[in-house]
Structure 1
């Protein structure tokens, strides 16, 4: 049977380590067909076990201890049967062995591993292991769990050094916990490259979670049998010989014996417990199995901790997403919504900056240098409908490299591609000083098998500064971002459909509402043409043209808002009380039959556009006049509350029904159409008023109190007022 193949670093990635054709010499191996007929044996089996093996003889014909034969008989069955290992202690010619039997790949494998300690000592090991399991289950953090684990495993196995590795997404591994003999050089904090564990070795680490090398200076014992026998798959064998490259690697580290226990979570090699001894060491099979159970407990506990942390992150992200979507449904400006929730969004995604843009308007949050936000937006693809991810400097267009600075991580959500709508999250560069366990690159040297590529010989920490990389976007963050993107697109699609319907409605309304004033102007013109001068015609023309001008102004304002341009307020110090008094004087002159009362007039200075703010207050006065009960006054009150100026306009009237109150600040409200008390309204007034107040960083609201309808406007006071 084939064994002892020449291997170096050029071909170790292809080495068939599961069929080495040899075993370690501290035991003997026999393998049988599924029917129990001998197919092969290790070369030392006749001497260690006192048998005379021949191909094809039944297992019962071998002079093996009765306990071993009984265990073997339990495994005889169908050729495709797979069976987990079982162990029974046996004695052969005064030597103690652990007989381990398992079935795999149509064969039954019996291994006789020498045991150098008595049953009483093994029992004491088991008691220690059980106590360790209980202590580990009480750990609440991964760091505390692994730190405790290496201490516990070293205590009951007796290794000189026990380390916990945690693998990164690129398969490199960090030593995150270590328990060692005091005179040994510490490896804690060092990183080992992915190439230290080839792909086929990772597969075996998952398939067989425990591997032991009793003495790195061992001479492999070949397997014998029929010349045409298929190689024996030893993936689950405890005596399996290991790769000569790995043996050389351990020798270069000064290690005499090793044991590794895999930490496997959901079928993924999460980490390793690596045990090193500076001389030969044989840990009994039962103790190794206790360590294996311990690793399973570690994996289960890590999985629970990670699941809890992930659940908390998902819960926070879901709550933030729900709040953003709920506000986006109600708000007219998506940028304002995203800006208001920027802090929560950045916290939920572990981002340090955020950019939002729509219709060419851009808002940025975070420590971004001037011009960078615009450059980032310009670098994004047009008409993209999926997330755009960048995690390192190399993912960005070269022209941006010099301008990016520390901002190398990006996740961009195209929530409205047609309008250039992006929500962009940024992460900073993680400058990391990596302590490699020796230089990670391959070197050519004279090894035991001649001049070839060999494992590195120095494991002193070799430091490398890694730049240009941000923390990769976690699967949880990406999953939540895709859900958020889908909901954002749904809201924007719904809004676009509503906008299209609104535009159609606007055209119909303009066609209807402009017809009357145009007809009046036309009739007045015809009368004037005939020379029959009447004093009322001038007023009629003035009234109709004012009505048309008001409608056209509202439509223009609506277009600016929908286009994302804003209303363009020019802020300056304004005496709010004086502005209110002027507007009320105008209202009294225009409508002398309606009592307008200024019930309170505290002095209040605000930073405002007096024309636009006057537009808001005039709209509120007009609404109060139209909708208030006949003969009842329209009251206005100006007060100062904390750092805000508050203007309240009230009129006597019943409360607005809840279903109408919910749409008060929406454009083209059904309640505005064909309203006999507001025949000239298109439903745009309050919508535009709200946009104006928002551009003043204020709020406008409705409430009903004491048989009165009250609209209030809150504005921040001037800083030095």
Structure 2
């Protein structure tokens, strides 16, 4: 028989580590074609087989143990269906014990014989320990506890000097988050290793073949022999596969002589890694390695369950917030009020620290963010965005706002009303991170064993770096929930805009109708005056009609200013609220002497306010009480002081307002207000404008029913001089 040549890999680019052309020497290997004919073997095949190994012969001609030939036959039968997962049998050849591992890949059958020098009873004892470890890991309820338990248990049943748990980030760098080690070894816990430490082809193999062992990095590779020109043997799933000289050099630089790695793969991605190091050569029996592999699979399943549970809780929380927010938007007249009301829940559901909202040029903020910063962030928003806007670091912001953004570098922006410039902006602060790298993360081009290339780092002492300008990245679940929220907000805004367009048309029609009567009255009165008719009622009729027209036009103008985002043009100055209430009550008594008005003046109550606008608030509330209260029962106004607040209440006798009507009391154009027989000229704008005036005073307005009375409560901040009390 002619001696086959070594499989040549010299022409393979980019270090194809899955086809190294050699194996580690603590075992031997045979590979066959899909028909079971011999295609090649490792140069260290035992003498009992070497004399009978010939290319093209059937494997059945070899003196292999029946347990091994049975696995090969099964692999050949199933190979036509695709790749055949590794199967194991304990065998003895020429007095030596082996673990025979047979698998099929790329149309070939690969039989690996790993030497086993540990007695079966010892392996069984290790297996019992491993089973106990798996149960301990399975019981963990947090990822931190899971990894801490895993490294301790793996070290206990394998005996490695150091066992570390890596968790990989989105950029593929990895953090050592748990470690069990020999006491005299320097700790690596908390260090980060750059993505380049695991090249792309190695990362692929970690996903395909979740366990790898190097028994002695000082080994001499054993070449594979086969037919000249034959395709290289793919050893992606091999257990004896020789490793990259670059990786060997990397381990040597760390002072490691043996290693084992177990992949934690979740949804096809390398999520983490259990890395085991020993400072002397070490072989771990195949059965024990398989126990570690099962442990990693249990870990992956447990991590997935923990993360799924956390995601489900976040989804449920977000759904509740979204539902409540949309309900508020559909019944509230001002989107910013709805966002402010649910700000705390929005921050919790998105794990944010601040919220800024803008609509029609008006800006509100929630959380520890300065007004100037909020305004700068709003100015940095694009005018034509239709999808959510995500920023995780300062470098993703426009250059001209870097100084203004400050620490708020994480942004999740939800455009909810593009025509009105509506944005809901959720913000995260900069996370100043002090990274302890496992040596400097950069690699230098040097001449190594493989010529000029990127040589692994020579030092693994911690190299510290401070990273600024980065926020915690927005999680996939948060982004998915944000898109749903943005869609619902946009839908609610469109519905509100359509309703406003409809009510504007209704307003114009109603205004034209309602102005016709007072204009006609004024015209008739003018005609009579022109003819010289003198009637005592003409002056009152002209005044009454003019007042109605003024009120209607004033409400429409106020509505237009509010809807256009211009505000009501307040002029704030110190004001005695008690004196204002007294004046308005007196005017009402003179105008409507048949109605009993009650007010007990509590004495000076100072607020900073626009007197004319607050008079408008009180006049409207008294008018509502007059039109809707029970005839014969008094209208009662009260004014009291609470810590930091002036509390004004107007009450009238009457039945409770229906729940569906109460929910929209402060909306414009309420159906219950249109064509009310007790207030035929009402357009449903009065309480809406009142609420806007109160809001612009940083106050609150609310309705309640108690003791047979309808009560409207207005709370206004006391002026600073009154908050401080007497000096």
Deviation at 1:368, TM superposition (A): 4.1
Q: Judge which range, 577-586 or 477-486, deviates more.
A: 577-586
Cross-structure match for 1:64: 64
Question: Matches of residues 516-595 of structure 1 in structure 2 within 5 Å?
Answer: 516-595=517-596
Deviation at 1:263, TM superposition (A): 0.6
CA–CA distance in structure 2, aligned partners of residues 407 and 683 of structure 1: 42
CA–CA distance in structure 2, aligned partners of residues 333 and 604 of structure 1: 33
CA–CA distance in structure 2, aligned partners of residues 660 and 408 of structure 1: 43
CA-to-partner distance for each residue in 1:511-558, whole Å, 9 max, x for gaps? 100011111111111222222232222221111111101111111111
Question: Matches of residues 185-264 of structure 1 in structure 2 within 5 Å?
Answer: 185-264=186-265
Cross-structure match for 1:379: 380
Change (3 A) 1:567 1:2: farther
Deviation at 1:450, TM superposition (A): 4.4
Cross-structure match for 1:80: 80
TM-score by length of 2: 0.93
Cross-structure match for 1:145: 146
Deviation at 1:234, TM superposition (A): 1.1
Change (3 A) 1:510 1:2: farther
Q: Judge which range, 431-440 or 370-379, deviates more.
A: 370-379
Would the aligned equivalents of 1:31 and 1:38 in 2 still touch at CA under 8 Å? yes
CA–CA distance in structure 1, aligned partners of residues 150 and 708 of structure 2: 72
Would the aligned equivalents of 2:649 and 2:711 in 1 still touch at CA under 8 Å? yes
CA–CA distance in structure 2, aligned partners of residues 494 and 445 of structure 1: 65
Change (3 A) 1:359 1:271: same
Cross-structure match for 2:343: 342
Question: Matches of residues 108-507 of structure 1 in structure 2 within 5 Å?
Answer: 108-368=109-369, 371-450=372-451, 452-507=453-508
Aligned alpha-carbon RMSD (Å): 2.3
Q: Judge which range, 194-203 or 465-474, deviates more.
A: 465-474
Would the aligned equivalents of 1:34 and 1:78 in 2 still touch at CA under 8 Å? no
Deviation at 1:121, TM superposition (A): 0.9
Would the aligned equivalents of 1:46 and 1:53 in 2 still touch at CA under 8 Å? no
CA–CA distance in structure 2, aligned partners of residues 157 and 49 of structure 1: 32
CA–CA distance in structure 2, aligned partners of residues 2 and 472 of structure 1: 50
Q: Judge which range, 262-271 or 330-339, deviates more.
A: 330-339
Change (3 A) 1:140 1:606: farther
Would the aligned equivalents of 1:35 and 1:79 in 2 still touch at CA under 8 Å? no
CA–CA distance in structure 1, aligned partners of residues 696 and 417 of structure 2: 23
Would the aligned equivalents of 1:4 and 1:20 in 2 still touch at CA under 8 Å? no
Deviation at 1:706, TM superposition (A): 4.5
Say which SS state the counterpart of residue 77 (structure 1) adopts.
helix
Say which SS state the counterpart of residue 410 (structure 1) adopts.
strand
Cross-structure match for 2:21: 21
Change (3 A) 1:73 1:512: same
CA–CA distance in structure 1, aligned partners of residues 328 and 293 of structure 2: 52
Change (3 A) 1:705 1:79: closer
Would the aligned equivalents of 1:102 and 1:110 in 2 still touch at CA under 8 Å? yes
Cross-structure match for 2:652: 651
Deviation at 1:447, TM superposition (A): 2.5
Would the aligned equivalents of 1:3 and 1:20 in 2 still touch at CA under 8 Å? no
Would the aligned equivalents of 2:355 and 2:366 in 1 still touch at CA under 8 Å? yes
Change (3 A) 1:197 1:537: same
Would the aligned equivalents of 2:245 and 2:449 in 1 still touch at CA under 8 Å? no
CA-to-partner distance for each residue in 1:679-701, whole Å, 9 max, x for gaps? 22222112212222333344333
Given the alignment of the two structures, is residue 620 of structure 1 paired with residue 621 of structure 2, yes or no? yes
Deviation at 1:329, TM superposition (A): 2.2
Deviation at 1:289, TM superposition (A): 0.3
Would the aligned equivalents of 1:2 and 1:231 in 2 still touch at CA under 8 Å? no
Given the alignment of the two structures, is residue 47 of structure 1 paired with residue 84 of structure 2, yes or no? no
Would the aligned equivalents of 1:606 and 1:715 in 2 still touch at CA under 8 Å? no
Deviation at 1:572, TM superposition (A): 4.2
- What are the ranges of 5 or more consecutive residues in structure 1 without an aligned counterpart? none
Deviation at 1:673, TM superposition (A): 2.7
CA-to-partner distance for each residue in 1:448-468, whole Å, 9 max, x for gaps? 344543212222222222222
Deviation at 1:127, TM superposition (A): 1.0
Say which SS state the counterpart of residue 672 (structure 2) adopts.
helix
Deviation at 1:394, TM superposition (A): 1.8
Would the aligned equivalents of 1:46 and 1:52 in 2 still touch at CA under 8 Å? no
Change (3 A) 1:630 1:278: closer
CA–CA distance in structure 1, aligned partners of residues 641 and 464 of structure 2: 63
CA–CA distance in structure 1, aligned partners of residues 696 and 451 of structure 2: 78
Change (3 A) 1:294 1:537: same
Change (3 A) 1:671 1:109: same
Deviation at 1:385, TM superposition (A): 0.5
Change (3 A) 1:395 1:242: same
Say which SS state the counterpart of residue 284 (structure 2) adopts.
coil
Say which SS state the counterpart of residue 45 (structure 1) adopts.
coil
CA–CA distance in structure 1, aligned partners of residues 28 and 249 of structure 2: 24
Runs of 4+ in 1 over 6 A off after TM superposition: none
CA–CA distance in structure 2, aligned partners of residues 189 and 581 of structure 1: 70
CA–CA distance in structure 2, aligned partners of residues 479 and 206 of structure 1: 27
Say which SS state the counterpart of residue 172 (structure 2) adopts.
coil
Deviation at 1:184, TM superposition (A): 1.9
Change (3 A) 1:360 1:703: closer
Say which SS state the counterpart of residue 219 (structure 1) adopts.
coil
CA-to-partner distance for each residue in 1:464-485, whole Å, 9 max, x for gaps? 2222222111112111111111
CA–CA distance in structure 2, aligned partners of residues 382 and 186 of structure 1: 51
